[in-house]
Structure 1
């Protein structure tokens, strides 16, 4: 019965109504004895509780699998980009990021702030849209053509690498791989490879470097002694990167992208399990 009650939002709600107190909420024995609950027979309770317990174990297993995959991916990034002697990478070219880029710059908040957002138009990307290696458009905002025309210098192009440069999400990065028009605010920096840079460096390889501990440590080093979390464009331009030949870059990106796709699939499976549990809880107890 205890497992059944712990799984029932309806039962918890009824018990919460009977609890009294401010600093410490208490449910008296008298109130507990008087409460009336809709309970199935014990055999049915055991079946429901057993099924939900099994589902919870499956969800926990899925979470552990995702954590393990991300840890392994991080280990791969460290093996490529974090060793002091670069190990077998002694033949890789090394340079600053700046000379490889034709643009390192961010946008601005439109005059009027969020009041100028519209339902449709040009996507306006903010730091919450730039995650660790992925672009999240679930909460994307839009600006109209007039507003976008006043910010043409920060329009995003397909293949641009986006980097969060302020606040708690500093260091998060992804690639803009869409054909739709988009712009960014002042918290998101555009890293656009020059024509010469594209001949030496894949945007996907640059992204994987930015996500590695080596570049993330450079991001953190730029914050030491500062009163506010933020990167300026010169600091970004001074990032130390490696540039192997294109064949090696494609090979490395192919392997790392395969891990990213696997993680994405497992996260989708986790969300499906969580939705299933929520739907079952609603059907059984609400």
Structure 2
């Protein structure tokens, strides 16, 4: 073990992938014990924070290229010597590091706001849907279940066709993710399989039982036909409050109980499991107030998530452009 000096930059010596270990951190304080599985870059006349930001930007890929190994990837000091950096004067380095540090702080603050809103939402939901209410709502009385679209790998196309939402597009308790890992298929869906505004998309089968039952809602904003894959299902209802029933602890207990006793490699639910669920809900005047309140919290949450994503994109852009 080695004691740090303020301004040191550290990079892991080994990891599962080259991208994992190509991550630099600045040690702001001296006399900290550093483990033996770290590359320590001791700088003279350079700002450590600036250097770590640069190495985590465009230089990250240069570092990944010189890492060696297959199952375990190694990176040592001699590998790092060939990585070239671009360094303005020390004063300019400190200004750039300060700017990026402030952006990091803003992203951290934004993430804290998001976590607090999630906790608020969860607390409201559990308070609204506790068992003290006499009125009960069973899902098959206010909605229907639709199976997802079955397709093969031969049906998948690069562009055009029907957009299919799969388990990895379901962001539990939030909007569907249309932007990452999407699949288009050249296959006709039925009219009822086309997603409609307000639909709940549910993961019905997955190799990981912890993912089965997770749900997202569709806001109707996709510009072309969209459906879900065969391992997912759609719950459709005109009753606004059902959107939040899928985010209760009681719903999660229903899912857990439904999965017990399964003997397949893939944990799965069926439509009846969903439709047979029953929940305690408040009476009409209070229910309408709760819908408005939860809609407001959801809107604030989505807005803050979008803002955090913009700050992150801004940081990524700066890291790419500043160190060309």
TM-score (norm 1): 0.78
> Which residue of the other structure, out of 208, 218, 226, is the alignment partner of 2:262?
226
The alpha-carbon deviation at position 72 of structure 1 amounts to: 1.3
Q: Which has the higher contact order (CA 8 A, sep 6+)?
A: 1
Q: Residue in 2 aligned with 1:191?
A: 235
Q: Residue in 1 aligned with 2:241?
A: 205
Q: Which runs of 5+ in 2 are unaligned?
A: 1-46
Please provide the CA RMSD for this pair: 3.2
Query: How far apart in 1 are the matches of 2:73 and 2:228?
Result: 46
Measured at CA, do residues 17 and 126 of structure 1 come closer, stay the same or move farther in structure 2, by a change above 3 Å? closer
Measured at CA, do residues 114 and 273 of structure 1 come closer, stay the same or move farther in structure 2, by a change above 3 Å? farther
Count of residues in correspondence between the two structures:
265
Q: Which runs of 5+ in 1 are unaligned?
A: none
> Which residue of the other structure, out of 203, 209, 212, is the alignment partner of 1:164?
203
Conserved 8 A contact 1:134-1:173: no
Measured at CA, do residues 124 and 54 of structure 1 come closer, stay the same or move farther in structure 2, by a change above 3 Å? closer
Residue 236 (structure 1) aligned with residue 274 (structure 2): yes
Measured at CA, do residues 254 and 28 of structure 1 come closer, stay the same or move farther in structure 2, by a change above 3 Å? same
Query: How far apart in 2 are the matches of 1:58 and 1:268?
Result: 14
* Larger helix fraction of residues: 1
* Larger strand fraction of residues: 2
Conserved 8 A contact 1:19-1:25: yes
Measured at CA, do residues 25 and 120 of structure 1 come closer, stay the same or move farther in structure 2, by a change above 3 Å? closer
Query: How far apart in 1 are the matches of 2:226 and 2:62?
Result: 49
Measured at CA, do residues 224 and 46 of structure 1 come closer, stay the same or move farther in structure 2, by a change above 3 Å? same
Measured at CA, do residues 28 and 143 of structure 1 come closer, stay the same or move farther in structure 2, by a change above 3 Å? closer
Residue 133 (structure 1) aligned with residue 169 (structure 2): no
TM-score (norm 2): 0.69
